[in-house]
Structure 1
């Protein structure tokens, strides 16, 4: 049975400055549900190199309220496509350094195929549809990061 589209909305999306604990978040996500046969997670991190330039730091900004609603709609869509038991997206904002965690997408389902597909769908939409803005600090100065063609191409496979 999949998660109803509006159930648990507040707990399945968090935008925060604080880091997250992968093990703790997964344990909470699957707690008390013996029907979970698969948990798939994706953790995105800050790289020290982007587009040929060293990245000393990154600043992530968002539009409070709109960002959470956008992510919630992405999860709702995943719930209509796959029999998800639960899903969680945590996205960090503020200043980040190379190797810092940026985003967690976690999905629980009865079977791995659905869990992998739903997780990939959520991150593909998150990368292109959620209102986040990234600014990198490089030796040449600060620069805003544009959307990548490869992210748009990844999204196209779901349309």
Structure 2
């Protein structure tokens, strides 16, 4: 998760919004089961990425959007920014800690939009093998309703 955050930090420094961060867009290179610290991961899947030229956010529209990874402001107003990527990072961390569960697996896309915009979030109970309180607190902070309350990369 740390290497994903570092990759996203690099994109933020370049003023690039990924708009589609998910575990499926993280490449695992050189996996070492004896020493996982020697494993390397890279952020990929830049099909929806956009460079911010004149502002701090971009708009997104159309079909096939990754709503299960989108914050309320993207679902409701089509706005994407580094802070919407932070939201998706939290969802990606949840995916990793649940060993690949689909976010909001029991809901349709339309229900996910209503649930998230109504204040609903992914739960800790799906995490496999437990999660330290400080890690969960960081993940939850990625899902703050107000963009300015979310951390940066």
TM-score (normalised: structure 1): 0.30
Higher share of residues assigned helix: 2
Name the structure with the higher strand share: 1
